[in-house]
Amino acid sequence: MALQEKLDKFKKQQEKCQTTLSSIAASKAAASQKSASHGSANGKNAPHPVKFSNDTERLQHINSIRKAPVGAQMKRVIDLLLETRQALTPEQINQACYVDIKANKDVFENLRKNPKVNYDGQRFSYKSKYGLKDKTELLQLIRKYPEGLAVIDLKDAYPTVMEDLQALKGAGQIWLLSNFDSQEDIAYPNDPKLHIKVDDDLKQLFRSIELPRDMIDIEKDLQKNGMKPATNTAKRRSAAQIQGISSKPKPKKKKSEINKRTKLTNAHLPELFQNLNNS
C-alpha cells in the first residue's frame, strides 16, 4: 500500500514538471514573436554580419597590368582590337582590358604609331596589311599576285580568312605551296584559263621524242631555237680539265679476292674463308 502511494505521488510530480516546462516554452515563443513584430513595425530588420570587400584580387590584377612594361600593355590592347575588330575609345579599352591609355602617355604614343593600329583621333582599331572583308575580295587579291602571296600577310585580314583559304584551295581556285627557304605557305592563283585538256595522242607524241644523250647537243638545239640554256657544259668541262679533274668517272677497282696463294693470318677464324677461290 505504501509503494502504491509513492508511485502516485511520483506521477503527480512528473505531470507538474511537464506543465511547468510547457509554460516556459510558450512564454519564450510569445516573447520572440512580440520582438519580431515590434521590429517590423518600426521598419527595422535584423542586423546582417559585416562583410569585407571581396574585390581585392581584381584590384591587385588591375594594378599589376598598369605597372607592367609598355610593350606588355600594348600587346593587351592590340590583342583586344584584333579579337573584337571594333573601333574602341580609350575608356572602352580601359574597361575591357584595364589598360589606361589616357594615364600612360608612352602607351598612347606607341599605339598611335604602331603599324597594326589605326587611330582616327578618338578611337583605336586594328589595321591589317590587306583590308579584306570576305572570300571574294581574298580571291581577287591573290589573282593580282601571280608570283605568290605570303599567307602570313593574310592571316589577320579578317577572322575567317584561314578557312576561306582552305575553301579556295579545295575548289581549285588557288594553290597553297610551301617555300623551301622560309617554310611558309604561299598562295598562288590558279588561272582558269590555263585549264587546257590535252589529247592522249599529243601526250604520246611528246613522250616519244628522244633527246640527245650529250648535254652539249641539248644546249646547241636550244640555242638553234632561240632559247638560252641554263647550263654551259662545254665551259664546265674545260674548267675541269684545266684544274686536272677528269669529267669521266674513274673506273672502280676490282675488289681483290682471297685465293689459296693468299697468306692467311687469321687461320683460327675459318668462317672468314668459306668463299675461298680454287684459282
**In terms of Cα–Cα distance, which of 143, 159, 153 is closest to 185?**
153
Pick out the chain residues at pLDDT < 70.
Answer: 1-4, 6-11, 13-14, 16-18, 20-22, 24-25, 28-54, 179-183, 193-195, 244-279
Three cell numbers, residue 184:
611558309
Q: How far is CA 182 from CA 150, 152, 179, in A?
A: 10, 11, 6
Compute the residue count for the chain: 279
Q: What is the pLDDT of residues 174-208, one digit of tens each?
A: 999 886 666 688 999 997 766 677 888 988 898 88
Identify the architecture of domain 135-189 in CATH.
Orthogonal Bundle (1.10)
What's the rounded Cα separation, in Å, for the pair 212 and 199? 26
What local confidence, expressed as pLDDT, does residue 169 receive?
93
What's the rounded Cα separation, in Å, for the pair 3 and 15? 19
**In terms of Cα–Cα distance, which of 180, 120, 128, 177 is closest to 154?**
128
The highest-level CATH class for domain 59-126 is mainly alpha
Q: How far is CA 138 from CA 191, 192, 208, in A?
A: 15, 16, 43
Q: How far is CA 232 from CA 180, 184, 223, 235, 259, in A?
A: 26, 33, 11, 6, 49
Domain extents in the chain: 59-126, 135-189, 200-237
What local confidence, expressed as pLDDT, does residue 187 receive?
93
What local confidence, expressed as pLDDT, does residue 233 receive?
86
User: What is this structure's pTM?
Assistant: 0.48
Domains 59-126 and 135-189 share a fold: yes
